[in-house]
């Protein structure tokens, strides 16, 4: 048992640290959910990609550097420590790309991955529907087979990044006779395709971080189906616990936030809040160490499986606690809009997206503790 | 980077589990509480044969944590933290594989069964003599007031303290894991309103929270074992105290009234977990140590 990095890993860390120190913009970029901010974040992705830092764990041919899982975690830690911008490409590179790697054809990989790596194509997820949230398998949007492809109809909602993104991905019911998890197909589609209407939705912070999508006979060619028709649920779930997906969210962001929280405390120590500061730091440290355990298991051929749910509850609640504590420390100034209020509002979405924490606790109780299922068909997990 | 136990370490954990489950450790705990120390002393010899008393000096803190987690899982009685974690480092000259010793923190645990009693005075170690018995919330812990005597030549007391803190954290982790395992088994078989109570979300979500808290306690313990700095051991101690207390609260709640009885075995872990909350430094002390270390490093 050890927590040591190899000389190669240390060299990788130093290279990442030096590049980030020289390149991270001194000023915060405007919000990625505004027209200007979206473009600014796309430009940042381009800069990362030019230096091959945008998708370090991908193979060289599609814009990465074939970094190991350990190196990926190291990179993420350096990235957030450097205060680098949020990733506008996140839905694509963390949620969709693992599925393209596992289930995409060679042609799809060649067509979709390189522009995703450069930030030229930004992807939005399209999972939820008005009547299908935690119970994702009850989704109703349809796909009807036509000559050379499919026609999509229906409505998706809470589609992150869709207000400005170029492409979407999600599940549609391709077999109207099949129920729930069966008869679903995984589609990729341009958000400017004829028949797609994007209606941005202002979030708690007033910005259009997500959107509603309306599909009116949208044609999608067979070439844009991921995996086999009818096999969409399995395709989506096969990487729901993927190591580079949200279920193994790198600790870097939370460690960096814990460090900034200590900075706030050091500026104006409030003994009444010292316990909360320490608790938040300890939880971030626990997450960092826990991740090394997961990385070791994965390197030994294990998989994340249902423990991804344990991870997700922890980081999402940790993120809220870190920001609440920082705002408490700011006293009278806490109300004034700042990176802490921005971060706080964003943190509040964590326990909801990527499978609510209630769904995650069901998964933990049933699949890890082995407790009996609800008597009637209760919701299982969901991606995205 | 390899943050999993080695095959040898998991093998050691299995041997301990094997020994303790066959030794009926809980009967040993109850006998100890009632004043019959023979079964506990015999168990101590068997664990010493397995090398547990020599881990602090002859193995790494990782093996020591494996052992203390097992001691917590089985609610083994006796001054283990004192005699097998603190004193081997604090008193390198002492032979603690042959006989037990204890140290007052501030009360001396099980001073009536040990050969030697020590007290920490002004950052030095002194001989001490046991005085009046003080009743612990956990009847398997017999506490005594002490009077310090002559100073003794000692080793690195700071390192010894950190090892004892880490052992306490590991013991709390083991106790919490045991409460969770027993509670999961209980809610699967206990039926109300025609269903196993473990099928209700109200129960599931509480137990999931315990699973989460303990899963993040473990890496703090073993991270501190790999690098036993004061900050790391105190962080582990803080989180193991709160995670085990959550396990105890949820475990009791899920059991209902049966869990509140002396006779039902869950009570042994509930009392042990509470007793260890303040052993080897209170959570407030350890939080302060973490904070000071973090601010000093800035």
* The overall pTM is greater than 0.90: yes
pLDDT at B244 over 80: yes
pLDDT digits (tens, 9 = 90+) for A266-291: 999 999 999 999 999 999 999 999 99
Cα(B190)–Cα(A151) distance, integer angstroms: 51
Q: A2 and B1 in contact by Cβ < 8 A?
A: yes
pLDDT digits (tens, 9 = 90+) for B193-227: 999 999 999 999 999 999 999 999 999 999 999 99
Report the chain A residue with the minimal C-alpha distance to residue B239: A282
Place A244 in a pLDDT band, splitting at 50, 70 and 90.
very low
Which residues of chain B have a CB within 8 Å of the CB of A134? Answer: none
Q: Residue B19, by phi and psi: left (phi above 0), alpha (psi -120 to 50) or beta?
A: alpha
Asked if B226 and A1 count as a contact pair (C-beta separation under 8 A), the reply is yes
Helix/strand/coil for A275: helix
Closest CA–CA distance from residue B29 to any residue of chain A (Å)? 27
Which residues of chain B have a CB within 8 Å of the CB of A68? Answer: none
Closest CA–CA distance from residue B24 to any residue of chain A (Å)? 25
Query: What is the distance of C-alpha B96 from the center of its chain?
Result: 18
Which residues of chain B have a CB within 8 Å of the CB of A362? Answer: 201, 204-205, 208
pLDDT at B297 over 90: yes
Cα(A253)–Cα(A250) distance, integer angstroms: 7
Which residues of chain B have a CB within 8 Å of the CB of A290? Answer: 215-216, 218-219
Query: In this structure, how many other beta carbons lie within 10 angstroms of the beta carbon of residue A378?
Result: 14
- Cα pseudo-dihedral A368, A371, A377, A378, rounded to 10: -60
Query: In this structure, how many other beta carbons lie within 10 angstroms of the beta carbon of residue A335?
Result: 10
User: Which among B5, B205, B219 has CB closest to A290?
Assistant: B219
Q: B226 and A9 in contact by Cβ < 8 A?
A: no
Q: B291 and A278 in contact by Cβ < 8 A?
A: yes
Query: In this structure, how many other beta carbons lie within 10 angstroms of the beta carbon of residue A372?
Result: 16
A160, A16, A34, A13: which is closest to A84 by C-alpha? A16
pLDDT of residue B6: 96
pLDDT of residue A246: 46
Percent of chain A as helix, strand, coil, to the nearest 5: 50, 15, 35
Cα(A118)–Cα(A109) distance, integer angstroms: 14
Report the chain A residue with the minimal C-alpha distance to residue B224: A289
User: Which among B188, B204, B295 has CB closest to A362?
Assistant: B204
pLDDT digits (tens, 9 = 90+) for B54-71: 999 999 999 999 999 999
Output the DSSP codes for A24-72.
Answer: S-SSPPPPTTSHHHHHHHHHHHHHHHHTT-SSTTS-GGGT-----HHHH
pLDDT digits (tens, 9 = 90+) for A320-334: 999 999 999 999 999
Helix/strand/coil for A107: helix
Q: What mean pLDDT comes out for the span B40-51?
A: 96
User: Which among A262, A285, A307 has CB closest to B220?
Assistant: A285
Cα(B191)–Cα(B193) distance, integer angstroms: 7
pLDDT digits (tens, 9 = 90+) for B146-187: 999 999 999 999 999 999 999 999 999 999 999 999 999 999
**Residue A188 CA: distances (Å) to CA of A123, A164, A223, A226:** 9, 16, 9, 7
Closest CA–CA distance from residue B110 to any residue of chain A (Å)? 33
Cα(A310)–Cα(A368) distance, integer angstroms: 10
Asked if A288 and B1 count as a contact pair (C-beta separation under 8 A), the reply is no
With b for 16 or more beta-carbon neighbours within 10 A and e for fewer, the A10-33 pattern comes to: eebbeebbebbeeeeeeeebbbbb
Cα(B291)–Cα(B298) distance, integer angstroms: 11
Q: B199 and A285 in contact by Cβ < 8 A?
A: no
pLDDT of residue A242: 53
Query: In this structure, how many other beta carbons lie within 10 angstroms of the beta carbon of residue B157?
Result: 16
pLDDT of residue A245: 44
pLDDT at A48 over 70: yes
Q: B290 and A282 in contact by Cβ < 8 A?
A: yes
Asked if A357 and B205 count as a contact pair (C-beta separation under 8 A), the reply is no
Sequence length of chain B is 298
Cα(B92)–Cα(B89) distance, integer angstroms: 5
User: Which among A3, A274, A300 has CB closest to B223?
Assistant: A3
pLDDT of residue A379: 46
Instruction: Give chain A's end-to-end CA distance (angstroms, integer).
Output: 34
Q: B298 and A263 in contact by Cβ < 8 A?
A: yes
Q: How many CB pairs under 8 A join A and B?
A: 145
pLDDT of residue A163: 97
Q: B1 and A281 in contact by Cβ < 8 A?
A: no
Q: What mean pLDDT comes out for the span A156-174?
A: 97
Which residues of chain A have a CB within 8 Å of the CB of B184? Answer: 369-371
Cα(A132)–Cα(A141) distance, integer angstroms: 10
Average pLDDT, chain A: 93
Angle at A157 between CA A152 and CA A158, to 5 degrees: 140
User: Which among B1, B208, B287 has CB closest to A292?
Assistant: B1
- Please confirm, yes or no, whether A374 is among the known catalytic residues: no
pLDDT of residue A382: 42
Which one of B183, B216, B247 makes the best mutation probe of the A interface by having the most chain A beta carbons within 10 Å? Answer: B216
pLDDT at A88 over 60: yes
Q: B215 and A290 in contact by Cβ < 8 A?
A: yes
Place A305 in a pLDDT band, splitting at 50, 70 and 90.
confident
Cα(A96)–Cα(A115) distance, integer angstroms: 13
Q: A1 and B4 in contact by Cβ < 8 A?
A: yes
Residues 6+ apart with CB under 8 A from A356: A133, A134
Closest CA–CA distance from residue A258 to any residue of chain B (Å)? 11
Which one of B63, B223, B241 makes the best mutation probe of the A interface by having the most chain A beta carbons within 10 Å? Answer: B223
- Cα pseudo-dihedral B248, B250, B256, B261, rounded to 10: 0
Query: In this structure, how many other beta carbons lie within 10 angstroms of the beta carbon of residue A207?
Result: 19
Q: Are strands A123-125 and A167-173 parallel, antiparallel or unpaired?
A: parallel
Cα(A30)–Cα(B57) distance, integer angstroms: 56
pLDDT of residue B97: 84
Cα(A305)–Cα(A366) distance, integer angstroms: 13
3-state secondary structure chain B: CECCCCHHHHHHHHHHHHHHHHCCHHHHHHHHHCCCCHHHHHHHHHHHHCCHHHHHHHCCHHHHHHHHHHHHHCCCCCCHHHHHHHHHHHCCCCCCCCCCEEEECCCEECCCCCCEEEEEECCEEEEEEEEEEEECCCCCCEEEEEEEEEECCCCCHHHHHHHHHHHHHHHHHHHHHHHHHHHHHHHHHCEECCEEHHHCHHHHHHHHHHHHHHHHHHHHHHHHHHCCCHHHHHHHHHHHHHHHHHHHHHHHHHHHHHHHCCCCCHHHHHHHHHHHHCCCCCHHHHHHHHHHHHHHCC
Closest CA–CA distance from residue B166 to any residue of chain A (Å)? 15
Q: A297 and B219 in contact by Cβ < 8 A?
A: no
Give the percent of chain A with pLDDT over 90.
86
Give phi and psi for B200, each to the nearest 5.
Answer: -85, 135
**Residue B68 CB-density burial (10 A; 0-12 exposed, 13-18 middle, 19+ buried):** buried
A384, A281, A379: which is closest to A329 by C-alpha? A281
Cα(B265)–Cα(A168) distance, integer angstroms: 56
Output the DSSP codes for A158-208.
Answer: EEETTTT-SEEEEEEE--TTS-TTSSEEEEEEETTSTTEEEEEE--TTSS-
- Enumerate domains of chain B plus CATH numbers: 158-296 (1.20.140.10)
ipTM of the complex: 0.97
Q: B235 and A296 in contact by Cβ < 8 A?
A: no
The larger pLDDT score, comparing residue A380 to residue B287, is at B287
pLDDT of residue A240: 55
């Amino acid at each position: 048992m050890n927590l040591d990095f190899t000389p190669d890993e240390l060299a990788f860390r130093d290279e990442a640290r030096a590049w980030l120190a020289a390149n991270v913009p001194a000023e915060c970029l405007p919000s990625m959910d505004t027209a200007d901010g979206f473009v600014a974040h796309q430009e940042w992705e381009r800069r990362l990609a030019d230096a091959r830092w945008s998708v370090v764990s991908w193979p060289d041919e599609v814009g990465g550097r074939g970094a190991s899982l350990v190196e990926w975690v190291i990179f993420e830690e350096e990235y957030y420590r450097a205060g680098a911008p949020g990733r506008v490409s996140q839905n694509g590179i963390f949620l969709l790309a693992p599925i393209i790697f596992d289930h995409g054809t060679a042609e799809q990989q060649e067509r979709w991955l390189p522009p995703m790596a450069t930030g030229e194509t930004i992807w939005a997820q399209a999972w939820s529907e008005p009547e299908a949230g935690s119970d994702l398998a009850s989704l109703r949007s349809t796909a009807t087979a036509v000559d050379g492809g499919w026609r999509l109809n229906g409505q998706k909602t809470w589609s992150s990044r869709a207000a400005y993104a170029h492409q979407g991905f999600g599940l549609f019911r391709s077999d109207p006779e099949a129920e729930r998890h069966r008869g679903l197909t995984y589609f990729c589609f341009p958000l400017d395709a004829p028949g797609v209407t994007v209606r941005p939705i202002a979030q708690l912070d007033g910005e259009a971080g997500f959107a509603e999508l309306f599909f009116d006979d949208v044609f999608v060619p067979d070439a844009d189906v991921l995996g086999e028709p009818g096999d969409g649920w399995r395709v989506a779930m096969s990487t729901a616990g993927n190591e580079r997906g949200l279920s193994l969210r790198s600790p870097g962001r939370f460690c960096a936030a814990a460090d900034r929280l200590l900075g706030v405390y050091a500026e104006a120590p409030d003994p009444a809040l010292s316990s909360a500061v320490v608790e938040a730091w300890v939880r971030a440290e626990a997450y960092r160490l826990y991740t090394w355990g997961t990385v070791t298991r994965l390197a030994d051929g294990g998989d994340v499986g249902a423990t991804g749910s344990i991870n997700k509850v922890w980081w999402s609640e940790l993120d809220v606690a870190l920001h609440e504590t920082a705002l408490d420390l700011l006293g009278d100034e806490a109300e004034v809009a700042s990176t802490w209020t921005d971060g706080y509002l964003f943190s509040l979405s964590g326990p909801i997206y990527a499978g609510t924490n209630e769904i995650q606790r069901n998964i933990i109780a049933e699949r890890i503790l082995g407790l009996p299922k609800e008597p009637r068909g209760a919701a299982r997990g969901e991606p995205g | 980077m390899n943050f999993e136990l080695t095959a040898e370490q998991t093998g050691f954990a299995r041997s301990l589990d094997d020994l303790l489950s066959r030794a009926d450790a809980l009967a040993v705990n109850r006998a100890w509480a009632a004043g019959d120390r023979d079964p506990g002393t015999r168990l101590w010899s068997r664990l010493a044969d397995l090398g547990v008393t020599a881990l602090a000096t002859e193995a790494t803190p990782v093996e020591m944590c494996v052992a203390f987690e097992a001691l917590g899982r089985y609610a083994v009685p006796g001054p283990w933290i004192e005699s097998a974690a603190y004193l081997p480092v604090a008193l390198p000259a002492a032979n603690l594989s042959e006989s037990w010793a204890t140290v007052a923190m501030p009360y001396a645990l099980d001073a009536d069964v040990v050969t030697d009693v020590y007290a920490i005075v002004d950052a030095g170690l002194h001989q001490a003599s046991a005085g009046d018995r003080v009743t612990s919330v956990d009847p398997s812990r017999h506490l005594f007031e002490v009077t310090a005597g002559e100073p003794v030549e000692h080793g690195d007391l700071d390192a010894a303290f950190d090892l004892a803190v880490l052992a306490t954290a590991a013991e709390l982790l083991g106790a919490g894991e045991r409460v969770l395992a027993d509670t999961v088994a209980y809610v699967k078989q206990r039926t109300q309103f025609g269903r196993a109570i473990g099928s209700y979300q109200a129960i599931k979500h509480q137990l999931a929270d315990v699973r989460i808290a303990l899963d993040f306690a473990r890496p703090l313990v073993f991270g501190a074992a790999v690098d036993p700095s004061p900050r790391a051991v105190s962080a582990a101690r803080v989180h193991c105290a709160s995670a085990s207390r959550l396990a105890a609260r949820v475990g009791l709640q899920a059991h209902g009234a049966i869990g509140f009885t002396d006779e039902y075995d869950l009570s042994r872990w509930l009392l042990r977990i509470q007793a260890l909350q303040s052993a080897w430094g209170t959570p407030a002390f350890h939080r302060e140590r973490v904070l000071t270390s973090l601010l000093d490093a800035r």
